[in-house]
Amino acid sequence: MKSDRSVVAAYVVLTPLALLMLVPLLFMFTTSVKALGDILSLDFRWIPRRFAWENFQRVVEVMPFARYLYNTASIVVMTFLVQSVTISLAAYAFARLRFPGRDLLFFLFLVQLMIPATSVIIPNYQTIRTLGLLNTRMAVGIVYFASAYGTFLMRQAFRAIPRDLEDTARIDGCNGPRVIRHVLLPLTKPSLIAFAFVSGTFHWNNFFWPLLVTDTVRARTLTVGLAMLTQATESTPEITITMAAAVMITAPLFILFLVFQKPFIQSFAGAGALKG
């Protein structure tokens, strides 16, 4: 039982803070549909005098949006698919098998959480250049193909599955990889989906690494395209176009979030660390 007064106080405190939190989002939406006249006014208006829907049209004219969308989506999907293979195999070994050096190896995996990819951009850039991968979508994804966080998550999930189930499968002639695919993964789908949400969000939103390793339309992602937009058009009127572009690159993930709020939030809540 909770005292009514403190619950009321919670609402009184949370509501204005929630509204404040929404200001940048509302600002993005309203600016994206403003006309120039509304922007160049010292008095800020929340409701535009005229809804300038043509701003979205302009975005597609000044940036190759479809290509960036395709690049981003394929990087997100490719990265997750490769990750799901590497993390389930490693997680299986750490959860089920005994071998010398296992704990040391697991520790080496966990140290990755402490050395984020952003901290090693300089040497990784050299590696990518040596491999001849500059300006490819592979370059954007490859540095994230092993995920300590994902390995940790799947190891926990596998450990919760009773061994008997695997033994039955083994008697039926299934070997390790097939046990993972046909027995363990179907039973740990929620964990894999949670990882998909976290990894997908991270790679959809990732900015600095893709910025460094891409330099043409061929491999650039949406976030990089957004940054290019302001560099191409630095005058004030282009604020509206930039915010329209921001709405467009945020929308797919945001809609997904609105539809799947519960699973999305649970995925992140289960995340000890947000390292795609």
Partner 1 sequence: MHLKQLRPYLYVVPAFIFLFFFTYYPAGFAMVRSLFHWNTSNIQPAFAGLHNYQQLLQSRRFWQVVTNTVIYSLSFILVSTAIALFLAVQINKVKRLGSFYKSVFFYPTMIPMAAAAMIWMFMYLPDYGLINAYLRRLGLESVNWLNDRHIALFSVTMVGIWKYTGYYMLLFLAGLTNVPEELMDAAKIEGANGRQRLFKISLPLISSHLFFILIIAIINALEAVDQIYIMTQGGPSNSTNLIVYFIYQNGFRFWDMGTASALTSLLIVTLLLVVSVLFTTLGKKVYYEV
Question: 109-168: which residues touch partner 1 (CB under 8 A)?
Answer: 109, 111-127, 142-148, 151
Binding map of partner 1 across residues 176-195, x = CB under 8 A, - = no contact: x-------------------
Q: Any contact of residue 239 with partner 1 (CB under 8 A)?
A: yes
- H/E/C letters for each residue in 220-275? CCHHHHHHHHHHHCCCHHHHHHHHHHHHHHHHHHHHHHHHCHHHHHHHHHCCCCCC
**Binds partner 1 (CB under 8 A): choice among 22, 60, 160, 165:** 22
Q: Any contact of residue 227 with partner 1 (CB under 8 A)?
A: yes
Q: Any contact of residue 33 with partner 1 (CB under 8 A)?
A: no
**Binds partner 1 (CB under 8 A): choice among 14, 60, 81, 165:** 14
Closest CA to 200 of 93, 75, 88: 75
**In whole angstroms, how far apart are CA 234 and each of 7, 237, 254?**
48, 9, 27
Q: How many residues bind partner 1 (CB under 8 A)?
A: 101
Comparison of 74 and 266: residue with beta carbon closer to partner 1: 266
Q: Which H or E run includes 45?
A: none
Q: Which stretch binds partner 1 (CB under 8 A): 50-58, 59-67, 165-173, 264-272?
A: 264-272
**Under 8 Å CB-to-CB from 213, ≥6 apart: which residues?**
125, 128, 133, 134, 135, 139, 140, 219
CB 52 within 8 A of CB 35: yes
Q: What's the min distance (Å) between Cβ of 115 and partner 1?
A: 5
Footprint (CB under 8 A) of partner 1, residues 34-53 = 39-44
